[in-house]
Every structure is written in C-alpha cells, then in structure tokens.
A and B are shown apart, each in its own frame.
Chain A
C-alpha cells in the first residue's frame, strides 16, 4: 500500500501548547497512515456483524415478515424504531457543521468533520430501513412516482412518500456538503501522497491550488451550502415525525411531534458525536486538536436538547390528561404503567434524568464520564422511538385488539447489522479522509510568526 511522505510524529513535549500549522498538517495527515492490527481486527468484527445482518434480511425475504416478533395490531416495531434512530443521529452533523458555522462558533472546527461523516453514513444506514421493513421489499420502487403506461402513481398524501423525498434530499445535500468541505484538506493530503492515492486525492480535490480566488469562492460556496443545509435539519426530521403525527393512533397524533423530534434528533446526534470522538481522539492522539473544551460545548448542547426533550415528554403526558380524550389517557397511562413500563422508564432515565448531571462542570469536563453518558443517551433515544411506536400501537382504540410485542432475533440481527454497516463506512473514512478539518483548524490557531514555519 502506498504510504505518505511525512513520518509519524512523536508525541509533542508539552501537550497543551497550541500546535503550529505544520504540526497540524502533519498530525492530521498522520491519521491516514497504514492501519495497524487493531484496526483490521475491528474491521473484521464489523464485517462479521454486517454479514449476520444481511443473513437475517435474506432469511426474512425468503419466509416473510412472520420471522419477526410483530404481533398485530403492532405492525411497526424495531425497524421503524431504528430508522428514526439513525435519521436522528444524522442531524447533529449538519447542525454542527452548518448551523454553528452560520453562528460563527469557533469550537465546531475540531469536531465538524467527524460529525459530517457521521451524518452521511447515518443517513445511508437509515435509508435502508424503510425498505427492510416492507412486506414486499422487491417492489419498494413503486413508492417513487415514475411514469408508466398503466396510469398508476404514488400517493402524495402519504407521509411515507414525503419520507422518500426528505431522506433522499438530505442524503444528497449532506454528502455534497461533506465533499465540498474536504477539498482543501484533501489537497493538502494530495501534496504529500504518492501512487494511486495521489490520483485519488487529486480527483477529490478538484485540482485545488490554494489560490486566493479559490479560497474566496470556496468560502462563499461553503457558506451558501451551509445556508442550504440548515433548513433541512429542521424539515427532514419534522417530516419523519409526521409519519406518526399524521396518523390517528393515540400517542402519535400530536402537533408537538415535529419540534419534539428535531430536538431529540440533535440530542441523540450530539450524543453519538461524543461516543465517536472519544475513541477517535484517543486512537489518533488528537488531544491537542480536539480539546476538552470542545467536549464541554457538545455536552452543553446535549444538556439543552435533553431538557427540551424532557419538557416534550412532560407535555405529552399533560396533554393526554388535559385533553380528556379517553383513548389518549388510556394510551399514556399504559405507556407509563402498562406492559411497556420498562421501556418507558429506560427512556426517561436515559434521556431526561441522566443528562441532568451535565449541569456540573466536573462532569462536562471529564471525558470518560461524558463517554458513559453519551452511551446512555444513545440507548435512551433508541428506546424513545420504541416507546412512541410500540406502546402507541399496543394500546389503541379497540380493547379487544390490545397486544404485546417484543423483537425477535432477525430484527435484533438487522439492528446489529445496521450498526456494523455504519461503523464500516466510518472506519473506511477515517483512514482515507482527514477526520479533522486541517484548514479550519489553522484558522483557529495563532498565525505563525516570521521564520517560525521553518522550525
């Protein structure tokens, strides 16, 4: 495998000293060195998991959805839960890279590249699930409005069709945004690469030379894309939330859903960013670039969104009681104290209670603690969707049709598979693309004094 010119840097003498431009370039590019045994071990594990997920889906395609735990009237379960989960994960990426850019908040520079990668891969994962959960997945394309001789069309009144457009748009834009932002960094890598890598990066950097004009246009374009992506952060997850809000199922049919889902999405997204950055930072010794202060900022976003989500929970229960609607009341009572109490209380604990620890600076600034909390957030947010979907369906209008559902192994297999699919892409990306934005890092550093560059 072709290698890069710069040797791996030894750990700097005093870690907290701000790195110089040269160091930045060197250290970041160092992350693209040929991977070690650990990396391949991890990759093998991930591929194995992915293979198992694929097997589960094949099994389901062969015998039908009967292999899942679905128990009418609970017709949606872990698949839609996981779908919403991944769409949610995707959101913080765009938030951090686009919205925070518009807000000119400097701390994003260190983390946004990883966050954007996460976004793209999360959407790629999420996009699988609407197909996975179909009874006849091989006809999934019927959902698209393609011209045909028979005069049949897709139903634009159906939130599922809105989903199709929302997700595909989001994937396109976030992918564009990522590639765009990569150009200068890829160029930097290109200059030091040899062999086929040079060709690859050459293509990806679109012949970037770093001239003023290029920087000027780049800045403008980047800003424009940021502005373009920002509304999507709000719209996409609102549309996803309407899958539920547009239905008349008690516990789904609520106007609060759009903001509630968006907040939840950003919450889970930031949680996932922390979960990913902590090991990344450790593995690549990026402590000097991804600093504790960055984690603290992420923690603050988590705290804010967690509080919004908690408020949304409270509102839901309050409205169920206040509306006087017997069906809503019964549904939410069963949510809290019915068969699914366990799921509900996992959700509340992880999303509403545990994040309150972030009020304490000690907690916010302790990376290990943050890591643990972020794991809880991920679990909690998966269960939030599970609770909304499953408890809602399990306790609907017809008492005679109340029922109980727990996922079966093919569903869990596919859930694991989805995580592996995501990790696979991420592992590949960090070895081929700079996972920290070199150029923007430098913006945040003190400019080099005369001659220092040669030190």
Chain B
C-alpha cells in the first residue's frame, strides 16, 4: 500500500514523461495521506550503497526521484572505485526494473511452474529441510555468490542449523590460480592487493584488469593515474597475451606469445633480470632462485613462446630499470592448464624485481579467500549425482549456464530431492528448480560486504521493492528456519537486523550515509616460500588436433559471466575490442581467415572435442594466427527476452576436467576447428572503417615526441598561415555578429576536455549516458543498420601494420563537439538546432520536424534520429516496457519518432545546478555540474566546466600542449578539446 502510494504520486511527476503524452483530462493526482519528510517531489534523494554486479564491490550512490531509483553513480568517499563506476554498475538499474524478473513464488508441478503462496512454499521447504537434517549430516547444500560479511556468516549458521557444511560460494571467475600461486610462493592463500598507481612499469600476462579482472574500476582509476601523461612522464604498459583485448588496447606494446607460454616468458624475464644483476635478492634465497631460473634462458623461452629473444631481453631490462614495477596475470582468457604456474612465475618475477610489498601487497584476508574453487563445484555436482544431497538452495549464481556442459550439472541437479532457487530471474538454474522464490535485486536489499581488507561496505535498499511479492533471500531463509523450528540469526527478523547486529544505531546510520566503514589495513610482509618451484614448469597441453587453432574464451566486459545478458544497455554496448553488440562472434586472424576462406559475418561451426557451437566470424588482427577467441556471456536458453536464444555459449566447447594445479577450470584448454555453414549474417557493429586514414581523429605521439612538444599532425597541417589568418578573422567576425540579444550578456561557456592518455575505452560513459538521458535500446537488427542511439560512442582505429603484433590501437570517445561555429545550426529550418548563450548546441526535441539536414551537415556524425517511436507503448520498437519506464529520468524528455536527438552536455544537470544556485543566491562553482559521462569515467579522462572561468580545470587542461580539435580545418571550433594519447616508446 505504502509503495503504491509512492508510485501514484511519482506517477503524476514521472509517468507522463515515461508513457509519452497523457492528456490532463481524466488524469488523477494522488497525494500522500501522510507526508513523507524525506521525499520532495522533483528533488532527488541519494542513498549510498554497494555495487553487487560483480564481486569487486565498488561504492555507489543511488539517485532516486519520487522514490524510484533512476541513476547509479560511484561513491566518491568509497575506497573502491572512488566515485567511479563501470558500465555493468551503471546497468544495475536494468536488473532492478527488468520486466522479466520473477514476480511471485512458483512451484514446479507436472504442468510446469505454477504460482504458489509464500507460506505454502516456506512450509514445504522447511519440512523437507527438517527431514534432510534428521536423515544425516551434509544433506543440504546452499549455493551463493562470492559473499562476505554478516550475511555470509548467516548463511553458514543457517546451513549448520540443518547439520550441513555444504556451502558453495560459487563464482564462474574465482581466480583460484592467484590464490594457489600465492600459497606456493609466499605461503599466503590470498589474492594480493595490486597498486597500479605506484607502478612505474606494468607488465600484464593476460590480465584484463581494465575489464573484469578482480576490481576493474579501481584498477582503471589507478592505471590511468600512472599510465596517463602527467608531469612529462608516464608508466609504460606491456601486454603479454595471445589475444589483444580492450586492456591490451591501452598497452604501449603488445607481445603475443603462443597460448600457455606466458609463464615461461615471465620466468625468462625474471631470469634475465637476475642475470643482469638487477634482482633485489640476496643470500641463499638468491641462490635458490638462481638455481631454479637458470634453465629458463631467453633463447629457450623465446623458442617455446614464439617471441624474439631480443624482445625478452629488452622487456627484462625495462622492467628491472623501472622501480617499482608491476607484473600481473590471472585473467580468465589466460587461464589454461598451467595457470597456477603462470601466476607463480609472475609472483616470482615481482619478487625478483622487488615489487612484493610495494606494488604487490598481501593483507591477512582478501574477499576472494573463501570463494569456492571450480574443483569444489565439481565435487558438489558429483555429490548430487551420487544422490547424497536432498535439498539444494541456489541463491544468485547460475551454474547451469556457467559450468561447462560436459560437467553434467543439469543431470546431477535433477537427482536432488528438492531444488529451490532464490532468484530474481528465471535463469537456466532456476528453470531446473522445484521452487522459484523471487529474490530482491541488490538495489532493494540489505547487506554488507568486505570488498577489500579493512573495508566494510553496506548495501541498503534505495527504494521499496519493485514487485510487492519479492523478498530478500536472507529473509526467506530466516522464515524457513523459523518454520523448521531451527532458530537462527540471533533473533533477527530480517536482513537488516543481520546487517545491523552488534552495532550502535548511530554508528550504523553514519556508516550507511557514507556507504560503509573504511579503515586502512596494514600489509603484511611475505618471504619466498621454500618449495615455490614444486610444480613442473612447461607449456600446457591443449585438447584437439595439433594443427587447429587454440580457442581463447574470455569474459565479456559487458556481460561478465553472462549475468548481464538480459540488460538491454549491456547487450547494446559494443564490445570493447570488436565493437560488436548483441551477437556471439569468433575472432579470426586475417591470415587464418584467408586460409579458411571466411569473411566478416560468415556463420561458422566451431567444433571442439567436447562440443560444437555456431558463431559469426570477425576478422581481427588482435589475435595470433594460431588462436581464435570467443566471448563468454551469450547463448542463454532462459533468463529473459534479451538473453534467451541469442548467440552461443563457448563454455559448451570446454572440457569439464580440464583444470590446473589450483583446481580452476582451464578456460583456454582446447583447440577448435572452424567449418563454414554457408550462411552469413550482418554483424551488429558500429564500425565503419577500421582506419582513420591520417585524418587526425584519434591522435598519439611517442613519449619522446611529447617531451619535444611535438604533436601528431592532422590534415589541417597543410593549412598555410594566410589561411589560418583568414580563418581567425572569419571567426572573429562571426563572434562579433553573435554578440546580440541574450548572447550579449556574460555567460559561462561549457566545454570539455578528454584525455586520450587516460581513456581506456571501457565505455562506462556510454552506459551512463543511456541511464541519464533516457536513450532507447534499439536491438540487434537496428544496430546492424547503424541505427544505434548511443549519444556517445567509442571509435577504435588501428594504426600501423596489422599483419603482426606491432600495431597501435587508437580509441576516442566521440560525442557532440558543441561547436562554436556549428554546421548543424544554420541548416535547421525551424531553429530546433541552435546555439545557446552558454555555448551549447541546443537541440529542442519538441521543435524538430525531422529534416535530418543537421545530421547530414555534422562532420562528427554525432546526431541520432528517432527512426521509430521508441517511447510509445505498443510500437514495435518500444524500448521501455513496464517497469523499465520507472527508470526514465524525469528531467529528460523521452523523444518521439521523427525527431533528431544528441548529446547536450547533460543540459538538464546544468539547468538544475543553475536554478539551485540561483535560489540559494550563490554562484556556480567549478565542479558543480558534471555530465553523466564525466561523472562515471573510471579513468577520470573527461573533464567538464566553464571555459570562461580561467581557474576551472577545463580551462587549464584545454591549454595543454597535447590539446587538439578533431577536424580543426573545418573551422567548427569544437567545445571539446582532446588531449592526444602519449605512447611510451620505452628505452630509446
């Protein structure tokens, strides 16, 4: 009832916007019966919480309007993320408002899933739990994700109440090799804390630390600090991986070894460092290491890895010269049968170079310590197959999808007497269950997690549950235990009590307001363990016939392990590397493609000894000729409208028994053969041409060049001084003529700088823009026809010879440049596109008649047309199906069909801040206005502000020597200044 009333009030303010125009006639306004002292219609409320889209646990602040969450942003006070967020975090809202959520409890009968009353379900489940508990120990299994903190403890307590220890903290990506290797080398079974910011040289052996690896947002932030060009210096980043992904795009150098030989390379480099006496070792330890490394000569390693000996030697020199440096590994893509050895080798390399304790720190604990290993999951499956589990409760993870088919999860699961899913979605696992009980999404939940040592980060509901009948898993478990007569949770009646347990209310409130309690945790020193060299160090074996290419299976930066697959924003987000959305592709090197006679979009059958899937060919120079790569995340058979029946799941190609020393699944363990099917599909890509043809769009210089103050010449370099003078004169006269009417008064001039040295191409900005500006999701077919509506896009250009590994990747976020002399403005017959006094290219949706002349005349191609009525219910392309429309930002018009739209620097935020300042009788300060893209950018590459204020950050940055305007020769005088990327050229 309470919620209803909230919504009805919100209805008046918001729903009109969402559902398009609704006539006043007959429209009702329902005020509160009792006023809420928190909520002011029209004014946002913010709630600090924690992002649960992946185990990293970044701090978030949820913006609510009229008691609905409409935007998620980073929490600046939170040590993880520091106010920034990735695309997945931004998309949490679409999980909250997903129309495919489970809305009520279901029970499986002969006729399939049928609605059931909560009490009935709880009664039944409690009963069978009681029976299971009496019939023996460990008959009950509880599967959750990577939980930490009070709820984690509660789950164990709950399980214990039913005499079971079968707890599975299941994560598809559990980084077992890192933990095992730490155990081997340092005797600490923990994932260390890496400090990219302090590293002077970063060497990554297949770790996609800018995408999914451990804590991508925090690492992106740190990496940008180090790798960005500041004070005339930067950290060099070398990526060592057979497939160059988005993380590799930021690399100054790409080394492509044979798959599986990364560890040997690390050892070779360590040996070389040692040989040149650069190692920070002494005494017996040094001798031991010497003895071990002596056989890894650069020559031997070079032959094994297919990398030039000179390269190994050079990297070793550079790595040792830069102190402290940092080597990382353990990416899913590089997780093969020798993953633990690789991790151990990298630990050794860090130890030899004296990085351990400086850029690699060990704490007592890490959030990953207690996460179950793949080995445990397999054991659990075996137990189920053996019929030794009576009740299995799955909360969160989706093993039916993320475990390789050959693990036989489905069959084993069927043998369990009672299977209960506490799920927000009817995913593959839930579909196998006898009871499906609707769980709350993280934005509606209570909880507390420990994402890093010393950090306790709270999860609190930002709004009342979207669906009345959904309950948080912990509450349900409490109820079940109560029914079964097993009191747990020390009298807690709900998740909130569990979280609040043992804390003073005031302290809790304070913590909830800040997002958690953040204490600095001391690092603990580690020494090299005696038996670090226990494992055999050689290249791993791969299934399948030797001639065939090795399959690299990597996590999708957007869909993660597949959990993002039903979120339209994430489906429509082009992949970081291939820029393909909605589809499952297989990356094939041009040479291989030529040999197989396949081209972009050809459907090929990918066959491994363990399975067969179909994928679309994408010819991609970023993989070795003897490697093909596929992303994880698609190929769902359930889960929801966006996910079901889309693409293929490469995990079906993997052998379930292919594990490494740590008991981790080897994602890179098999060779595959590609067979043409004769069919071909249009790739849903935003890519037009992969080359910028010297047009100076995304520019870069070498460090040497940057130090010499050189800039990469663009096409405008040809312009003579006379022409420059003429342009300047024209500009001056234009300005003079523009100084009339409202334009004459003093105004701010909103401008932006984008530092390409910091930008990693993670596209968090793109999703943030979707969330802030009500941008519709248009679907695969429309994206394939270049009709995607993203106001902000990442362009990716290859530079140099792409036949080998020696090419650069240029990326540039392209959004409306807010030109001072904008070509779009004079051609609009109705002034829908016009210049605002504060220097924006205004776009008045309700004035636009849709001639599309502005878009033709825009050299940057950043104007987007509403081909369909995305905002109207009942239209074939309606993009905001109830309750997705609850997320719509009431401050932004939902555009109707036939109008042009584009980025306006989040003008609604500017106006909101200006009105607020005016009412409070104060001036706007620099930083009061931040567009959604700049706010979320994990690399802090985007800076926005008033260029008329000489003290503002943007004014200072746009004067940078690296600054340039795209297509300067057109004299559009853009409001966005790009700072060209600096590429470290290492030792000259």
Instruction: Say yes or no: is B692 at the interface (Cβ < 8 Å to chain A).
Output: yes
Give Cα distance in the complex from A401 to B900, angstroms: 17
A134 touches B849 (CB 8 A): yes
Instruction: Say yes or no: is A15 at the interface (Cβ < 8 Å to chain B).
Output: no
Interface of chain A residues 244 through 264 with chain B (CB within 8 A): 246-249
B849 touches A399 (CB 8 A): no
Residues of A within 8 A of B782 (CB): 66
A400 touches B797 (CB 8 A): yes
B850 touches A393 (CB 8 A): no
| Residue of B whose beta carbon sits closest to that of A162 | B829
Chain B min CB distance to A160 (Å): 4
- Chain A 322-349 interface 0/1 with B at a Cβ cutoff of 8 Å (1 = within): 0010110010000000000000000000
Q: Known: A248-B970, A399-B692, A400-B689. Contact between A155 and B856, CB under 8 A?
A: no
B857 touches A135 (CB 8 A): no
Instruction: Say yes or no: is A63 at the interface (Cβ < 8 Å to chain B).
Output: yes
Give Cα distance in the complex from A160 to B875, angstroms: 31
A135 touches B829 (CB 8 A): no
Q: Known: A63-B868, A72-B864, A247-B827. Contact between A402 and B688, CB under 8 A?
A: yes
A136 touches B899 (CB 8 A): yes
- In-complex Cβ contact of A397 among B694, B797, B853, B860 (8 A): B860
Interface of chain A residues 116 through 155 with chain B (CB within 8 A): 133-136, 139-140, 142-143, 152-155
Residues of A within 8 A of B868 (CB): 63-64, 66
Residues of A within 8 A of B855 (CB): 72-73, 75
B857 touches A398 (CB 8 A): no
Residues of B within 8 A of A158 (CB): 826-829, 853
Chain B min CB distance to A402 (Å): 4
Chain B min CB distance to A347 (Å): 20
Instruction: Say yes or no: is A71 at the interface (Cβ < 8 Å to chain B).
Output: yes
Q: Known: A155-B829, A399-B691. Contact between A249 and B857, CB under 8 A?
A: yes
Q: Known: A326-B715, A399-B692. Contact between A249 and B856, CB under 8 A?
A: yes
Q: Known: A72-B786, A326-B694, A397-B860. Contact between A140 and B831, CB under 8 A?
A: no
Give Cα distance in the complex from A135 to B686, angstroms: 23
Instruction: Say yes or no: is A396 at the interface (Cβ < 8 Å to chain B).
Output: yes
Instruction: Say yes or no: is A277 at the interface (Cβ < 8 Å to chain B).
Output: no
A247 touches B688 (CB 8 A): no
Q: Identify which of B688, B795, B848, B900 gathers the most chain A CB atoms within 10 Å of its CB.
A: B688
Chain A min CB distance to B970 (Å): 6
| Residue of B whose beta carbon sits closest to that of A153 | B831
Give Cα distance in the complex from A248 to B715, angstroms: 16
Residues of B within 8 A of A249 (CB): 856-857
Residues of A within 8 A of B852 (CB): 75-76, 135
Q: Identify which of A324, A401, A402 gathers the most chain B CB atoms within 10 Å of its CB.
A: A401
| Residue of A whose beta carbon sits closest to that of B831 | A155
Chain A min CB distance to B105 (Å): 40
Chain A min CB distance to B703 (Å): 27
| Residue of B whose beta carbon sits closest to that of A69 | B785
Instruction: Say yes or no: is B487 at the interface (Cβ < 8 Å to chain A).
Output: no
Instruction: Say yes or no: is A166 at the interface (Cβ < 8 Å to chain B).
Output: no
Q: Known: A157-B826, A247-B827, A396-B861. Contact between A326 and B898, CB under 8 A?
A: no
Give Cα distance in the complex from A359 to B686, angstroms: 50
Residues of A within 8 A of B847 (CB): 142, 152
Q: Known: A65-B898, A400-B689. Contact between A246 and B827, CB under 8 A?
A: yes
Residues of B within 8 A of A413 (CB): none
A400 touches B795 (CB 8 A): yes
A70 touches B867 (CB 8 A): yes
Residues of A within 8 A of B860 (CB): 397-398
Instruction: Say yes or no: is B877 at the interface (Cβ < 8 Å to chain A).
Output: yes
B850 touches A400 (CB 8 A): no
Residues of B within 8 A of A400 (CB): 686-689, 692, 697, 793, 795-797, 814, 861
Q: Known: A71-B786, A142-B849. Contact between A396 and B859, CB under 8 A?
A: yes
What is the size, in residues, of chain A's interface with B at 8 Å between Cβ atoms? 45
B861 touches A136 (CB 8 A): no
- Chain A 142-183 interface 0/1 with B at a Cβ cutoff of 8 Å (1 = within): 110000000011110111110010000000000000000000
A159 touches B827 (CB 8 A): yes
Instruction: Say yes or no: is A403 at the interface (Cβ < 8 Å to chain B).
Output: yes
Chain B min CB distance to A252 (Å): 8
Give Cα distance in the complex from A402 to B850, angstroms: 21
- In-complex Cβ contact of B897 among A71, A135, A155 (8 A): A135
Residues of A within 8 A of B970 (CB): 248, 397
- Chain A 235-251 interface 0/1 with B at a Cβ cutoff of 8 Å (1 = within): 00000000000111100
Instruction: Say yes or no: is B633 at the interface (Cβ < 8 Å to chain A).
Output: no
- Chain A 33-68 interface 0/1 with B at a Cβ cutoff of 8 Å (1 = within): 000000000000000000000000000000111100
Instruction: Say yes or no: is B278 at the interface (Cβ < 8 Å to chain A).
Output: no
Instruction: Say yes or no: is B967 at the interface (Cβ < 8 Å to chain A).
Output: yes
B848 touches A135 (CB 8 A): yes
A135 touches B899 (CB 8 A): yes
Residues of B within 8 A of A152 (CB): 830-831, 847
B849 touches A140 (CB 8 A): yes
B697 touches A398 (CB 8 A): yes
Residues of B within 8 A of A73 (CB): 786, 855-856, 861
- Chain B 806-822 interface 0/1 with A at a Cβ cutoff of 8 Å (1 = within): 00000000100000000
Interface of chain A residues 384 through 417 with chain B (CB within 8 A): 393, 396-403
- In-complex Cβ contact of A136 among B828, B848, B853 (8 A): B848
Q: Known: A72-B864, A75-B865. Contact between A398 and B859, CB under 8 A?
A: yes
Chain B min CB distance to A248 (Å): 5
Instruction: Say yes or no: is B112 at the interface (Cβ < 8 Å to chain A).
Output: no
Give Cα distance in the complex from A75 to B827, angstroms: 14
Chain A min CB distance to B876 (Å): 7
Give Cα distance in the complex from A398 to B692, angstroms: 8
Instruction: Say yes or no: is B4 at the interface (Cβ < 8 Å to chain A).
Output: no
Chain A min CB distance to B829 (Å): 4
Give Cα distance in the complex from A248 to B861, angstroms: 12
Interface residues, chain A, with chain B CB atoms under 8 Å away: 63-66, 70-73, 75-76, 133-136, 139-140, 142-143, 152-155, 157-161, 164, 246-249, 324, 326-327, 330, 393, 396-403
- A-B CB contact pairs (8 Å), 20 listed: A64-B866, A66-B787, A71-B787, A75-B852, A134-B851, A135-B898, A135-B900, A136-B850, A142-B829, A142-B830, A152-B831, A153-B831, A154-B831, A155-B826, A158-B827, A159-B827, A160-B829, A164-B829, A397-B861, A399-B797
The 4 tightest CB contacts between A and B, nearest first, are A135-B850, A135-B898, A66-B867, A402-B688
